[in-house]
Amino acid sequence: MKAFPSTEPIYGNNVIGVKQSTGMELRDYFAGQVIEGLLAEGGWGGDLSYFEDVAEGAYRMADAMMKSREK
């Protein structure tokens, strides 16, 4: 499932067309929101392994959110 799909009109040289964007994966959007929330709460480590753990955790939460949507 996509987040933010859109069609946008294009006007130029008397030609009207449509620019389409498929958006981003909803799972990626959810994971980004989880990370944003963690950072807002001061959840900021320092080494690479910390960031990898945060990213993996964010995607686990995003997966849970996707599963919850199916109910």
What is the model's pTM?
0.69
* 55 within domain boundaries: yes
* 51 within domain boundaries: yes
- Per-residue pLDDT at 48: 82
* Structural domains of the chain, count: 1
* 19 within domain boundaries: no
Residues paired with 12 in a beta bridge: 15
* 11 within domain boundaries: no
* 62 within domain boundaries: yes
- Per-residue pLDDT at 32: 94
Parallel/antiparallel/unpaired status of strands 6-12 and 15-21: antiparallel
Altogether, the residues listed in the chain come to a count of 71
What digits encode the pLDDT tens for the residues 2-60? 887 777 776 766 666 666 677 789 999 999 999 998 888 776 667 888 888 889 999 99
